[in-house]
Chain A
Amino acid sequence: MGQRHEQRTERQQGTPLLSVRDLTVEFDTDRGPLRAVDGVEFDVEQGETVCLVGESGSGKTVTAETITKLIRMPPGRVVRGVAELDGRDLLSLSERELRRVRGNRIAHVFQDPQHALNHCFTVGWQIREAIQVHEDVSDAAARERTLTLLDQVGIPDATTRYDDYPHEFSGGMKQRIVVAMALAANPDLLIADEPTTALDVTIQAQVLDLLEAVQAEYDMSILLITHDLGVVAELADRVVVLYAGKVMERGSVYEVFDAPAHPYTQVLFDCLPGRGRPLRSIGGRLPDLHDPPPGCRFAARCDYARDECHTGDQPPLYDVEETQTQTASCVYHGPSGDPAVLRDGHSAGESDG
């Protein structure tokens, strides 16, 4: 504990808590290697909430689970890239060193609370394990701390519920327990992978509130993975938009929501009802990740695609004009492009590529 606080103060000003650079992950499949994540880069600063947004299959989960190497390897494989926590690359750590990071400094909350808890052990046992894996404390002390945690995440009657099995809790309650378990070792970063998708709408709001509350209390950063833009708007400080394993756009939540710069982000927002624009659905499908076509990943579905969009590599993340932090991987924001084309086409709600 103490040691970790030292590390925290030692950290140089300006070094982000988590820094992912050029992360590239492949899976070996029957049809050859599948590149699920390709050159993803983003930072998470101390105390902030970063959202990874994208449709399913865009590589959000793989990105998040590669940071602490939770993906199964094989078939998974980190081709290149680094994921630095306080400047130390996690991907090159040994399994033993990684174990000290998992749970202790980076904790996870998964999508499906129904299956995130082992049905054969009591919830108390499972939370206590999360504590005792990292701290050499007595059973009694760990139990005390578990009860405090259960209380904190809003489980009524924690003392009596301690010895209950997961199936005796509702879905929302289970997710609270999973959160309690993630908090057990007082982590610096909480990675929450669609924590509310499997829950009822009313419960969703409660769990999100809980996340906000514990973030303030524990002074944690949160990396939130979601496809729900409503959640993004509510919690995020910054947004990273992924498509087919590539980062399409990055920026602060205000900038991105105000003026989405990448055509993909624009379409994504158009899918959201109640934004004053006619609802659209995205035509076409994700490109084949076994053998992605050249050029921009989104080109095939993009209304503005030009010839150069179908050749070469994915465009780099160009700074978007008139913004502080927003960048977009689109040629219209590059030196030879005119971003006005996107804005005009977008606000007019027309598409005449």
Chain B
Amino acid sequence: MRWYVARRLLWAIVATFVILSITWALLYVTEQQALTSIQFQAAVSGGDAEAARAAYEQQRGLDRPLWRQYTDYMTNMATFNWGYSTSRGQPVTAAIADALPYTMMYSVPWTILTVALGLSIGLYSATHQYSRFDYAATFVAFFGYAIPNFWFGIVLLVVFGVHLDMVPIVFDPDAPVFSLANARQLVLPVFVLTTGSIASLTRYTRAEALEYVEATFTKTAKAKGVSERRILLLHVLRPAAVPLSTILVADLLGLFIASSYLVEVVFGIPGLGQLSFKAIQNQDTPLVLATTLVGVFIAVIGNLLQDVAYTVLDPRIDYGDR
């Protein structure tokens, strides 16, 4: 088992390596494009195209041999030397460290709520299939998924912020983390995110649980005299947790990365999503790259955790070799 985890870890590192190489290649292509346009502009304005090219190459370090550029890039990435953000006037790593807490502030309650509500509603739906609650849960889940996050966020802001004056319209980044003010300004983002993400978990939990609710081993447990609740929480949820762990990562992580952009922009939360969004607007390449890569690293780590969770949860998986 330890060997299996080590292999997955190694694989995660290889995947990261490949992804970094791809981004380097993309950057290289754009730099070449920029170079061509600079030469073209220099030529048009009567300057020396060759000199302009040399100056640009000098400035961007493009005069180094290709291999050197690549290794330097990878070394910088590995040593967290991610460059300097011109738009923020601080190192990229510092900007990310500043933004990260704000993202955590709404994503932690969001994750907890989604998992708790999604699992319990899904389980209840599965055991009360085709009941009124089941239909209502299905509808609410679909409703939450179908309503565009950003639009829902704005509408809620207008209703509860402007008309009812129950929540602040402008996010106050200086509010203490554990304070009523902070809770009030985080209620809507967490609500909007949860309604958006609960659907898939509810539906999958329902489907997976249904499979096990009807399984022979559930009947065995019932025949032993085990109570309904214990059957649900142990005999059904435990095997269902195996496929659900996959969905948690695969579905929710993707949703999370995209939603965090929209929600942070709509609610003005200065987290990673907004940092990245502003970096794109300000043409701040090192920051764009770094914030994107942070998302990718989160995805890589999420996938790694998912693989490990899978083997821990399902005793049938033979992690000896393979």
Do A's and B's CB atoms come within 8 Å in the complex?
A: yes
Binding site for B on A (CB under 8 A): 65, 68, 70, 72, 95, 99-104, 107-108, 110, 112, 115-121, 129-130, 133-134, 165, 167, 178, 181, 184-185
Whether B251 is near chain A, meaning CB under 8 Å from some CB there, is no
Interface string of B47-66 (1 = CB under 8 A from A): 00000000000000000000
Assess whether B316 is in contact with A134, with CB atoms less than 8 Å apart.
Answer: no
Are B316 and A167 interface neighbours, CB within 8 A?
yes
Contact between chains at A167 and B315 (CB < 8 Å):
yes
The answer on a CB contact under 8 Å between A102 and B313 is no
Quick check: is B225 within 8 A (CB to CB) of the other chain?
yes
Partner of B225, one of A65, A116, A133: A133
Instruction: A100 to B226: give the CA distance in the assembly, Å.
Output: 9
8 further contact pairs, Cβ within 8 A, besides A107-B224, A116-B217: A110-B216, A117-B217, A117-B220, A118-B235, A119-B316, A121-B234, A129-B221, A167-B315
Q: Kindly state whether residue B215 has any CB partner on chain A within 8 Å.
A: yes
* A120 and B315 contact, CB distance less than 8 A: yes
CA distance A118 to B222 in the complex (A): 12
Residues of A within 8 A of B227 (CB): 99
Question: Please, could you name 5 A-B residue pairs with CB atoms under 8 Å apart, sorted by A?
Answer: A107-B223, A115-B216, A119-B315, A119-B316, A121-B234
Asked if residues B238 and A103 are in contact (CB atoms below 8 Å), the reply is: no
Whether the pair A129, B214 counts as a contact (CB closer than 8 A) is no
B98 at the interface (CB under 8 A from A): no
Contacts A115-B216, A115-B217, A120-B239; A129 near B224 (Cβ below 8 A): yes
Is B172 an interface residue when CB atoms closer than 8 A count as contact?
no
A110 close to B220 (CB less than 8 A): yes
Asked if residues A119 and B223 are in contact (CB atoms below 8 Å), the reply is no
List which B167-198 residues lie within 8 A (CB) of chain A.
none
Question: For residue B68, which residues in chain A have a CB less than 8 angstroms away from its CB?
Answer: none
* B165 on the A face (CB < 8 A): no
Given A165-B316, A167-B315, A99 and B225 contact (CB-CB distance below 8 Å): yes
Question: Which residues of chain B come closer than 8 Å to A99, judged between CB atoms?
Answer: 225-227
User: For residue A130, which residue of chain B has the nearest CB?
Assistant: B224
Provide the bound-state CA to CA distance between A174 and B217, in Å.
12
Given A118-B239, A119-B315, A119-B316, A70-B219 contact (CB < 8 Å)? yes
- A95 near B221 with CB under 8 A, answer no
Q: How far is the CA of A181 from the CA of B221 in the complex (A)?
A: 10
Give B216-254 as 1s and 0s: 1 = Cβ < 8 Å from A's Cβ atoms: 110111111111100000110011001000000000000
User: Whole-angstrom distance between the alpha carbons of A115 and B216 in the complex?
Assistant: 6
For residue B232, give the distance in angstroms from its CB to the closest CB of chain A: 13
Question: Which one of A65, A72, A103, A181 has the highest number of Cβ atoms from chain B below 10 Å of its Cβ?
Answer: A103
Residue numbers in A under 8 Å from B220 (CB-CB): 108, 110, 116-118, 178, 181
What are the 5 closest A-B residue pairs judged by CB atoms, nearest first?
Answer: A103-B225, A108-B223, A102-B225, A103-B224, A115-B216
Question: Is B72 an interface position by the 8 A CB rule?
Answer: no
From residue 53 to 96 of chain B, which have CB atoms closer than 8 A to chain A? none
**CA gap between A149 and B315 in the complex, in Å:** 24
User: A120 and B238: CB pair below 8 A?
Assistant: yes
Q: Which residues on A sit within 8 Å (CB–CB) of B219? A: 65, 70, 108, 110, 116
Q: Please report the C-alpha to C-alpha distance between residue A80 and residue B316 in the assembled complex, in whole angstroms.
A: 44
A99–B231 CA distance with the chains assembled, in angstroms = 12
Residue on B with the closest CB to A99? B225
Contact A165 B224 (CB under 8 A): no
Which B residues are in CB contact (< 8 Å) with A72? 214
Looking at the assembled complex, report how far the CB atom of B195 sits from the nearest CB atom of chain A, in whole angstroms. Answer: 31
Q: Could you tell me if B226 and A112 are in contact, using CB atoms closer than 8 angstroms?
A: no
Quick one: closest A residue to B237, CB to CB? A120
Most interface-central of A68, A100, A120, A178 (chain B CB within 10 A): A120
B228 lies within 8 A of A95 (CB): yes
Q: Nearest residue in A to B242 (C-beta to C-beta)?
A: A120
Closest-by-CB residue of A relative to B215 is A115
Question: Closest CB of chain B to A260's CB: distance in Å?
Answer: 32
* Other-chain residue from B224, B242, B314 in contact with A102 (beta carbon distance below 8 A): B224
B235: A residues at CB distance < 8 A? 118
Residues of B within 8 A of A116 (CB): 216-217, 219-220
Q: How far is the CB of A220 from chain B (nearest CB, A)?
A: 15
Q: Find chain A residues with CB under 8 A from B314 CB.
A: 119-120
Whether B222 and A70, one on each chain, are in contact in the complex, defined by CB atoms closer than 8 angstroms, is: yes
Closest-by-CB residue of B relative to A191 is B223
With a CB–CB cut-off of 8 A, which chain A residues contact B315?
A: 119-120, 165, 167
In the complex with contacts A165-B315, A167-B315, A167-B316, A118-B225 CB distance below 8 A: no
For residue B228, which residues in chain A have a CB less than 8 angstroms away from its CB? Answer: 95
- Assuming A165-B315, A165-B316, is B217 touching A118 (CB within 8 A)? yes
Cβ of B261 to closest chain A Cβ, rounded Å: 38
CA of A119 to CA of B313, assembled, Å:
10
Contacts of B222 in A (CB 8 A): 70, 102
Cβ contact within 8 Å between B221 and A118: yes
Closest to A71 in B: B219
